[in-house]
Structures are given as structure tokens and as C-alpha cells.
Structure 1
Amino acid sequence: MWQEVEALGLSIVDSQTTLDTYRTLTIHCLVAGDYLRPSRYTIETLTLHFAVDQNVNMDADIGNWVLIGVVIRLALRMGLHRDPSHWPTIRPLQAELRRRIWIALYQMDYFTSTQIGLPRIIKDSQCDTRPPAHLFDDDIGFEHDEIPPERPLTDHSPLLYMIQRNSIIKVSAEIYDAAEAAPPTSATIAVLSAKLQKAIDALPEWLKYKPLETAIVETPVTLLNRMFIDILIQKAIYLLHRHSFTKGSTGEESTRSNDICIQSALAILEHQRRMTEETQPGGLMFSIRWKIASSLNHEFLQATMMLCFALSRINDGDAEMSNSCPLHRRDDIVEALTSAKGLWEKNADRSIEAQKAAKAITKVLKQDMGESSMPPWTPSDGLFGQAPGIAPQSYLGNFDYGQDVALDLSLFTVNDEVEPFRDMLDDFVSIEGGWPKDISLE
């Protein structure tokens, strides 16, 4: 958002004042409209209010998780979690608008919950709203008694991107829930892996990630959408492998898990580097630099700490990590962290998390070079556990799902592998159904 401010020639102070005024007036409208008794545009206004809060601040804020919880509960009261087909009195246009609102809220719930490391608000077992039809805004109007035929997948549109992205998020949310509630069984992990691969395979070709060097004829928005979906896929895969990585388990499966997680973090930070590079003057995405969501900083932050964690364990002589991290991969880690350090330092003046990320990288790189030893620190839950990931090119690869890779309450106990990290992470982390009775369509 600040990049858009700069593009418009506005000062940060003036833009902040404008945003604060807009936010205040939005709140006044919500209060005057008695938002707890939702009417026609209540959810849309609340969603706009949430988006302003979410994008202005680069750092994670627990208040956004609380706010989206309020918005979702009001949406539940309006019956948005049930598909409009249950009520024949709802016109096709109204039905499609309700589906569009719900898919947006579902995705906001996932992003906000994983960013904070707390449970999602929406329970999938209590919802049956299907994705909206792929239609352009002028394809359907109040005069339609039936939903027109959908546009083909070759007709690119922001709505199609959201629909396709939702197929990945649905599986990712299921993985997130399974990993948080209790250690999933090997059978559960295998099923979720198959679901994710099916969702990946179903993506249209124009949304599957390709190196930017091979896609220079694509539109900037398409390039950004591909990168974002790839990050989502990698995050889901990491959730299936994070336990062995953070626990420092032994065995062949753990070695593969370590390799997958290191690969994932390297790929995520490469996305960060390329996005930063291509949003500069002359870059492929300079014209849409304002679209780079601040929520992605969380994914980049987690990838940064994953590599710091891995490099520290290598330097401490962790046998399993050393076996799964040959010399060239260790060099890749150092190079990626060095690059990320410069990127975090550029945002340090307006982000506490960026300051601490740069500080963490500095410490672990100094340890790697033998210039200084790092004081011990205590790991905090929610930092490594929510990090994204990427597998090799086949995404899921060949992995033995018989191992236990779930998150449990003992995951963050202090052990020999993380002893050198005690003080740094403490310094790094600052915060860490049914038929509706009320359906308001007017």
C-alpha cells in the first residue's frame, strides 16, 4: 500500500492521515448502521475496514484475527455459510454475490489465522456454500431467473483467480486444522497429500508457476498470481513435514523432511527476492507493485527463520541436518539469508518484525563465519510451526507418510539442537451449522 502512496506522489504522513480518517469514518458508518444487526452492505463495509487494517501495517496484529472473527460471525448470522440454492426466493444475482462474499471471507480467515498461529473461525463441516460461478460482472443481472453458463477457464479474470486459489486454500486449511488439533495419523497425511496434489493438478496451465525468465510475455498480474499460488502450495506442503524438521528426528524420513523444508524456505525467499526486484522501476511487476500484499511478509518471515534454524543446527553439528544438507545447499542457505537480510533492512524503519528478522540473520551468519557465538534462547510456539514450504519440482515428491510429522505440545521444548537459538527467538517474537434464523438481503 505504501508503494501505491509513493506512486501517487503522496507523503507517508499525508497518506497515513487520509487512511486514518477513512478508517474512522468507516467505523462511524458501521456504528450508525448498528453493524451487530447486519443489513445489506454491512459485511462489505466490515470487509473493507478489515482490508485497510490488514494492509496498512506490515507486522502481524492479533486485532485482525479478532476483527475477522466478528465479520465471519455476522456473516454466519446472515446465512452466508449455506449455499443460496437452499432458498428459492434468493435471486441468481443475489446468490452469486453472496457466494463471492463468502469465498473472500473464507480466504481472509485462513490467511489471518495462519499468520497469527491460532485456529480458524470457520468450520468446514458446517458450511456448504459452493464457489461462485465464473462470470464477468456484466454476464448476470437482476433480470436473470437462472445463472448463465460459466465462462471457460481460458478467460482470465480476477474472480477466476480467486476461485482457483480457493481450491488450494481449502486443502491447505484442512491440513492446517489437522496439524493443529492433534498429531495426524499416517493415513490422514497420505489422504491430505493426495487431495493437495489433485488440487495442484487441476489448476489451469496459466496459473501454474513457471520461472519469470520463461514468462516475459505474460501480464504482470498473471505473474504475480502464479507466484502467490506457488507460495500457498509450498506452505501447505511444509505443514505436512514441519514436525520432523523442527523436532530434529532421526532416520531416513527425517532426512527427506529436512531437505524438503530447506528447499521450501529457499524457494519462498527466492519469491521475496524476485518480487522485490520486479517491483522496482523497469521490473516486470512495477506497474502493479501496490498489489503485493503485506500479508506475504509473514511467509517470508517464516522462511527466513526456517533457514536460520537450519543453519544454526548445521553449525552445532546436528548429524541429521548435516546429512540432509550437502555443502552446496549450505552455501545456498547463506546466500539466501544474506540477500534476505538486505531486504528486511530496507523495511526496518516501518516494521518491528523486519528489524528483528535482520538482527536474527546477522547473528546466525556471524555464528556461521565463526566471528561470534550466539547467546541461548527459548523457542516460542507459532514461529516455526506455521512456516510455509515447498517441495522439489513435483511438489509432494516421494515421502514415507508412515512417519509422524504432526505438531504436538512437545514440539517446542528446549533440546540440544536448538540450544544456541534460545535468546534470539525470544528477541525475535514480539507477539505472537444449521439453518439461519436471520437472513437479511436488503
Structure 2
Amino acid sequence: MIPPRKVVDRHVSNFFNAFDFASSILHRGRFLAEYANFWQNPSAAPIMWIGLLSSVMSISAFLQHQDVGAVSPYAVETQEMLDTYRTLTIHCLVAGDYLRPARYTIETLTLHFAVDQNTNLDANLGNWILIGVVVRIALRMGLHRDPSHWPNIRPLEAEFRRRLWITLYHMDFFTSTQVGLPRIIKDSQCDARPPANLFDDDLSFEHNEMPPERPLTDPTPLSHIIQRQTIIKVAAEIYDATEAGPPSSATIAALGAKLERAIDSIPERSKYRPLETSVADNPVTILHRMFMDTLIHKAVYLLHRRSFTKGFVEEETAKSSKLCINAALAILEHQRRMSEESQPGGIMFGIRWKVSSSLNHEFLQATMMLCFALNRFHEVHVGLTGSCALPRRDEIIDALTIAKSLWEKQANRPPTLTALDGHGVAPIRDQSASVSHPKGFFGQMPGVAAQSYLVDFDFGQNMVIDPAYSTVDVNMAAYGRFWDDFVNEPVEENQAGIY
């Protein structure tokens, strides 16, 4: 099923040159050496390495599909190509017994999840289930422990263990917050430090010692991911602390101070600045700054969301509501500028697929927050003015009007907002209402019976993260033997004590 080498060569080139996380998952030099060996003797390649190659081609096919657009005459061809490579990846994962991980297993699973996450942009419970499996397999492989515990792990291998772990950490955080369910990773049980800010060429098979780490101000393919970790780590702590219920005022103050310190630690060149002062900068750099700023506003929202749902009754809740409204407005302003600059002739037209896929949920969340604020305030405070008025009400209506038009342009996606009237917003359709049964990785596994061992569970119930306005449909299937204990059989260990 592998296409001719000329075709595969183009996919590999596209993967390493267009996929942001390529350097976080695979070492270019090592992969290309293995790639050359594969073409010399294809039948000798491990089945999981074939899965890795298939997942690389899946990423490339996804990038091509996003580039040609849904209305292109090549759209059907690229979609069929993507489906073929995804199916091939799944067959290799099953044939390679992915629950008993070996080399290439976690890389293949991570790339497969990246494709699945980007092709299912709506909040999808299946993505949360899948990242849970991937993270647990990574835990079994010891990726959550820093490689320095095992001195005989060579620097190249150690760094890519750290890179894989930070990638999975980010995936776990974003996927969990999208569906409003707990994170899989528990920080108290992990000590893997962030990877070094290095180019792939700084590391090789021959290195027995780590080369000097470059400062974070040096732009490398990994620098923005490392910088992002500073904010995501705090945002994840905030999410954990506020998930079950309203935190105390002291907790909010302490987490707020920690977030401010994290923001201050971001290098100046990576902080957001208006597009008008960034016109000579690389479009990817501009997008990374926008992503970082959106992430900061997301952390602010996560910290204050509980008070936000209470309204403007007390001074503390009024302050939280204003902070959440300001954060949502800033996020929707990023959506407007990104949409504008992603049009033909715009600064980001060449990377428009990254714009549409990376921040979609954050835009939806900000839209829903403002709709909620406007609706609730309109119902309770009709006719009130002055100090009791909704902060930035006119800006909210303008931002929602623009957001509505942007969502309507995405004809292949369900409508998010109903009509805006002159006084407020009509009831909105929750973005999670369209969540479908997970049918990605697990649903396509051959020979897996869907055993209904949760027969007494009410699959129609709603799991609520913010009861006042956010619900998540948990109409999910049972996944049979995927939840079997996969550590009960002995696994041969190497001298480092890892698999």
C-alpha cells in the first residue's frame, strides 16, 4: 500500500518543512537514515516503523487537503489520500500491538492523534479518549520521568523523550479543556523537564554529552513550544484548581500572581504586538505571538470563570466578569485579524490552514462567553445604565456580529450562533451539542467488539464544567478490551529500565 518513492519523498519533505511539531516528534537525521534503509530493504522494516511512515504521510496529506481547500477540484483526491494513510496507520498500530509499546509506537500514536485532532475540530469526546490512551502508553514508557535518572540514555534519545512529553502535555491540556473533563497528566507525578532549545543538527548519534543550550531568544523550531509551556503549565494548574468548584480568593490571588510571573518570563520578541508594527516579521512568528496571547487570555478566563458565571453582584465577581469579558474580546479580535489576514493577499494567506485549525475552539469559547454575558445581563438589567451597565456592551455586540459572519462563512461547519437582534443575542447553540460518537482510532480497529459493560450508565446525561452555560454531550460508546490491563504481562527491559 506504500506509494512509489517519488510520492513518499514529497510527503516526507512536506512533513518536515510544513508541520510545526515535526521537530518535537522526530529527529530529521535519524528518520532520514531509517528512511533510506527502508527503501533498500522494505520487508525488513518493523511494522511499527511502517506505521510511523504512514502517519508522516497522513500529516502531509492533511496539510495538502487544507491547502487546496474544500472547493478545489483536488479536494476529493487529497481527502481519499488522507483516509488511505490514516487507515494504513491504524492497521500498523494494531499489527504492531501498540498496547505493548516498542520503538516508534509513541511517535506513531502522537502523529495519528495530531491528524485526528485537526480533522475533528469540534469538541470531540473521542479525541479526549484517544489522548488518554496515548498518554497512558507514554507513562508506561516512562516519558513522564526525566531521562537524567538513567545516565546511559544518550543525549539524542533523552532530548526526544522530553520533546515527545512536552508535546503530549500540550495535547492533553487543550483536549481536556475543550471537552471540559479532567486532564490525564498529574503534574505531581511527573518530573520531566522541558527540552533544550536546540536545532536538530545540534544533536546527533555521536553525541555523548549535551551541547550547550541556546537561549530562548534564539528562534529554533522548538523555541515557541518551550515558551508556550511556561504559560500552559500555569494554565493547567489553574484548570485543575478550578475544575471541581469555585476556588478561594487566596487561591485565585496566588494563581494570578503565578500567571503574571509566567507572562513576564516570555521573551520580548515572542510577546504579542499589533500587526501594524509586525508587517516585516515572518507570518509564522506573528501567528505564534497571537497564539501565545490567546493562551494567556484563556488562562485568565480559566482562573475567573467560576465568578464570571455569578455576574456583577459583588465587587469580586464584578472584577472577574470584567476580566473574562476583556479576555474574550481580545480573543475575538485575534479571530477577526487572522480571518482578515488569511484572505488572498493577506499576511497569513500562505499559512491559512494553521490559523483555522489551531485556535478554533478558543474562538468558539470566547464567542459563547460573550453571548452568555450579554444574554444574562440583558435579562436581568434591561434598561439600566451607568455603573450597572454591562462593561463594553457595544464592543461585545460588534465583536459578536463580526464573529457570527465569520462562522457563517464556514459552510461546512454547523452554525454556532443564531441571529443577533438590536438588544442582545438570541439563544445560542452550544458548540458541544453537535458532538458525535467517537469513530476515529477505536471505531476503526478491526476485530474489536464494542462490549457494553456500562449498561447502567445514562449515556444521555450531560457532564457540566460550568453549569450556568457550558455542557458537554457524553454520548459515548464502550470500547471493550481497550481498557484491559496492558501491563500484566512481562516486558523485556533494557539496561536503562525503560521499554
Q: Normalised by the shorter chain, which TM-score bucket?
A: 0.7 to 0.9
1:141 shift after superposition: 1.1
* Residue number among 417, 440, 443 corresponding to 1:358 in the alignment: 417
Alignment-derived partner of residue 156 in structure 1? 219
Mapped to 2, the partners of 1:283 and 1:63 lie a distance apart of 35
TM-score (norm: length of structure 1): 0.81
Once superposed, what is the RMSD of the aligned Cα atoms? 3.2
Paired residues for 1:47-126 under 5 Å: 47-126=110-189
**Contact 2:144-2:191 at 8 Å conserved across structures:** yes
Amino acid at match of 1:172: A
- Written as runs of structure 1 = structure 2, the 5 A alignment for 1:248-259 is 248=311, 250-259=313-322
Alignment check: 8 A CA contact 1:43 1:75 kept: yes
Q: Amino acid of the residue matched to residue 246 of structure 2?
A: P
Structure 1 SS opposite 2:197 = coil
Alpha-carbon offset, residue 81 of structure 1: 0.5
SS in 1 for 2:129: helix
Deviates more, 1:247-256 or 1:189-198: 247-256
Residue matched to 2:228: 165
* Contact 1:93 1:142 survives alignment (8 Å): yes
Rate the CA distance shift 1:150–1:377 in 2: closer, same or farther, 3 A: closer
Alpha-carbon distance in structure 2 between the residues aligned to 1:376 and 1:260: 22
Structure 2 equivalent of residue 222 of structure 1: 285
Classify the secondary structure of the residue corresponding to 1:144.
coil
Gaps of 5+ in 1: 384-408, 419-424
User: How far apart in 1 are the matches of 2:66 and 2:324?
Assistant: 31
Matches of 2:404 and 2:431 in 1, distance apart? 21
Contact 1:175-1:240 at 8 Å conserved across structures: yes
Q: How many residues align?
A: 391
Distance 2:162 2:103 in 1: 14
Match in the other structure for 2:366: 303
Distance 2:466 2:79 in 1: 41
Correspondences of 1:401-440 after superposition (within 5 Å): 412=467
User: Among residues 105, 112, 116, which one is paired with 1:42 in the alignment?
Assistant: 105
- The residue aligned with 1:318 is 381
Equivalent residue runs for 1:229-240 within 5 Å: 229-240=292-303
Aligned twin of 2:423: 368
Determine if contact 1:255/1:323 at 8 Å carries over to the other structure: no
2:68 maps to: 5
Structure 2 match to 1:185: 248
**Farther off after superposition, 175-184 or 311-320:** 311-320
Task: Choose which of 370, 382, 398 in structure 2 pairs with 1:335.
Answer: 398
Q: Tell me which residue corresponds to 2:25.
A: none
> For 2:408, which of 345, 348, 362 is the aligned residue?
345
Higher relative contact order (CA 8 A, sep 6+): 1
CA distance in 1, matches of 2:235, 2:210: 29
Q: For residue 412 of structure 2, what is the amino acid of its counterpart?
A: R
Percent of aligned pairs with the same amino acid: 64
Hey, what does 2:201 align to over in structure 1?
138
- Counterpart Cα distance in 1 of 2:130 and 2:431: 28
Query: In the superposition, relative to structure 1, how do residues 24 and 379 fare at CA in structure 2: closer, same or farther (>3 Å)?
Result: closer
Query: TM-score normalised to the size of structure 2?
Result: 0.72
Deviation of residue 249 (structure 1)? 5.0
Query: For the residues of structure 1 that align with 2:76 and 2:291, how far apart are their CA atoms?
Result: 30
For 1:70 and 1:109, locate their aligned partners in 2 and report how far apart those are by CA, in whole Å: 11
SS at structure 1 position matched to 2:243:
helix
| 1:394-405 correspondence runs (5 A) | none
- Per-residue deviation at 1:243? 1.6
**Which stretch has the larger CA shift, 319-328 or 273-282?**
319-328
Once residues 246 and 378 of structure 1 are traced to their aligned partners in structure 2, the CA distance between those partners, rounded to angstroms, is: 16
Contact preservation (8 Å) 1:256, 1:324: no
Conservation of the 8 A alpha-carbon contact between 1:220 and 1:285: yes
- Is the CA contact 1:311–1:368 (under 8 Å) kept in the aligned structure 2? no
1:16 aligns to 2:85 (yes or no): no
Gaps of 5+ in 2: 1-62, 436-463, 476-489
- 2:347 pairs with 1:284: yes
How far apart are 1:57 and its partner, in Å? Answer: 2.2
Separation (CA, whole Å) in 2 of partners of 1:321 and 1:21: 59
The residue type paired with residue 148 of structure 2 is: S
Residues 107, 169 of structure 1: 8 Å contact kept: yes
Instruction: Classify 1:77/1:287 alpha carbon distance in 2 versus 1 (closer, same or farther; 3 Å).
Output: same
3-state DSSP of counterpart to 1:301: helix
- Return the offset for 1:128: 0.2
Describe the SS at the equivalent of 2:167: helix
Once residues 71 and 235 of structure 2 are traced to their aligned partners in structure 1, the CA distance between those partners, rounded to angstroms, is 37
Structure 1 residue 350: Cα displacement: 2.0
CA drift of 1:313 comes to 2.4
Post-superposition shift, 1:368? 1.4
